Structure 1
Amino acid sequence: MEKWVVKAIQVGSIQLDRSAMTHYRGKGEQLVVPIWCAGATDGKHKVLVDTGIRDLKEYQKAEPGVRQTSGQDTVSAVKRIMGWNPEDIDIVINTHLHCDHSGSNGKFRNSKIYVQKKEWEAAFEPLVPEAPFYDTLCFDKQAVNFFQWQFLDGDTEILPGLQVITTPGHTRGHQSVLFHTEEGVVCVSGDICNVAENVNENLEPNIVVLVPEVYESLKRIRQAAHYILPGHEPAIQDGSEKFVPVL
């Protein structure tokens, strides 16, 4: 089986109350957390998991604490960490279509873009708590050529050593990405795990639309992965290949 190298790519940060990510634990404690994408390669393929923010001011309407430095726009950050230009990337995988995870999809015009079909459908008809985080300009036909989309229906092996598993709860069609690396299986979790506490201490993340499914999804990650890159974990360094152990 192919072995992958995975690196964390920071594309912004958010100041928020810790309890927003940990089911009320740590209420009143202010944190600045990163917004993570991930770059991965097996030496042949170039893969990007999630694509960050489309428009900072637009996203601030939903998340007032969001910030982005000049070097953290997705194209610049991918170039800085991975050395890749947008046209180099073979595959983009969206864990879900919230605007801090799909915002720069339109920059990657040569890529196949993998998403769960259920997530695509939900994004155009969002529920009340998730509506501010779905920005159709990230994923509609003006942003992405429809023929780039690769719609998935459940767990899928995309390439040897690269799989997606369904992890609904944060959104209806959420998926997480598993990479087979030299150190073990790394899960790029998206926001079913905002921070490692979610998976390791069985705590709900921020924004939940399916409560029982959250706990089943966290269990799936614990069963599959040795390490995790959560969507907003502050303990990980930009550009790092070292992630948080899954307990």
Structure 2
Amino acid sequence: MSAVEIPTAPRKPGDGVRLFGFTVGHVNMPIGFFLDGEPGEMRAPVTAFLIDHPKGLVLFDTGLGPRFVRPRGTQPDSFIDLEQGDTIDERLNAIGVDPAAIRWIITSHLHTDHAGGNAYFPNATVIVQEREYDHAFHNITDDPIYEISEYDLGQPFLKIHGEHDLFADGTIVIFPTLGHTPGHQSAKIRTDGGDIVLTGDCCSLKRSLDEFRLPNHCHDADQFLTSLKLLSSLERKGARVFPSHDPDFWATIPKVGPIG
């Protein structure tokens, strides 16, 4: 039995770890931001995931946060588009999950479109690679994608080094995928339907992995390419790799009920 029952998706006997996906806003960006040299523009979803584990509820990323919310029915005034009701706390409320029940937030990295909603979860511990924590708290200067007020909230941090098995049972394994930022990480989730890898911005689009294409910006290109090769290895072993910002891929993911 889940630590917190989800009214819209009650557990059945024998259910293991379950994964739910959410759209938490969009960003309108040049495609080259994700694939260096690629022309054109795209409307990319910002995504977050709820992991329903028998020992507690876990989030992977929290999407855009309250500073970007616009009233429903109005037009966005920037490339960031987050309508009222689309934040991660509202997405959870819609399926009957109280944000106060979230125990852990696995943060792929501390950019604003991945950690912006952390404030909605006062009882959660934030899991982050120590090198990402150090960079985000001590080494950023004028990088606007890090907004320290969104993650310096008094929540406890679990600063990890390398791979970390959250519940020591192989169901949620966090591992570094460096390159996009100094301490980027991804997570492999073992569901009844097989392994799913949540990539964060190590793999923004499916083409990033299929073509080993880097974005037009990254902290370390060599590390980034090594991380893509790791994801490719996991995919060859049967894991489903979920890119974080791919509108075509995201259109295939169930928005009601568990993914896996």
Q: TM-score, normalised by structure 2?
A: 0.81
Counterpart amino acid of 2:143? A
Q: What does residue 148 of structure 2 align with?
A: 136
CA distance in 1, matches of 2:163, 2:259: 25
Q: CA deviation at 1:183?
A: 2.5
1:97-246 to 2 correspondences below 5 Å = 97-126=110-139, 131-140=143-152, 143-145=153-155, 148-159=156-167, 160=169, 161-205=171-215, 207-225=217-235, 226-235=239-248, 236-237=250-251, 239=255, 241=258
Q: CA deviation at 1:188?
A: 0.9
Q: CA deviation at 1:242?
A: 5.1
Question: Which SS does the other structure have where 1:90 is aligned?
Answer: strand
**Cα deviation per residue 1:18-76 (whole Å; 9 max; x = unaligned)?**
22211222x0x22111000111113442111111223117xxxxx94110122211210
Of 88, 95, 99 in structure 1, the residue corresponding to residue 108 of structure 2 is: 95
Q: TM-score, normalised by structure 1?
A: 0.85
Contact 2:106/2:126 (8 A) holds in 1: yes
Q: What does residue 19 of structure 1 align with?
A: 32
Q: CA deviation at 1:127?
A: 5.7
Go from structure 1 to structure 2 and tell me whether the alpha carbon gap of 1:207 and 1:84 turns closer, same or farther (over 3 Å shift). farther
Q: Does 1:71 align with 2:85?
A: yes
Contact 2:100/2:121 (8 A) holds in 1: yes
CA distance in 2, matches of 1:43, 1:196: 31
Of 56, 60, 83 in structure 1, the residue corresponding to residue 68 of structure 2 is: 56
Q: What does residue 60 of structure 1 align with?
A: none
CA distance in 2, matches of 1:3, 1:205: 36
Contact 1:185/1:224 (8 A) holds in 2: no
Counterpart amino acid of 1:39? L
Contact 2:18/2:259 (8 A) holds in 1: no
CA distance in 2, matches of 1:88, 1:151: 21
Go from structure 1 to structure 2 and tell me whether the alpha carbon gap of 1:98 and 1:14 turns closer, same or farther (over 3 Å shift). same
Q: Does 1:45 align with 2:56?
A: yes
Go from structure 1 to structure 2 and tell me whether the alpha carbon gap of 1:198 and 1:127 turns closer, same or farther (over 3 Å shift). farther
CA distance in 1, matches of 2:118, 2:144: 18
CA distance in 2, matches of 1:206, 1:77: 31
Counterpart amino acid of 1:84? V
Gaps of 5+ in 1: 58-62
CA distance in 2, matches of 1:197, 1:171: 20
CA distance in 2, matches of 1:83, 1:222: 36
Go from structure 1 to structure 2 and tell me whether the alpha carbon gap of 1:227 and 1:205 turns closer, same or farther (over 3 Å shift). farther
% of aligned pairs identical? 24
Contact 1:115/1:149 (8 A) holds in 2: yes
The two structures, once aligned, show a CA RMSD in angstroms of 2.3
Of 26, 37, 44 in structure 2, the residue corresponding to residue 33 of structure 1 is: 44
Q: CA deviation at 1:168?
A: 0.6
**Cα deviation per residue 1:160-211 (whole Å; 9 max; x = unaligned)?**
2101110011000000011011222111111111111111211113530101
Question: Which SS does the other structure have where 1:214 is aligned?
Answer: helix
Counterpart amino acid of 2:225? Y
Go from structure 1 to structure 2 and tell me whether the alpha carbon gap of 1:242 and 1:207 turns closer, same or farther (over 3 Å shift). farther
**How many pairs align?**
230
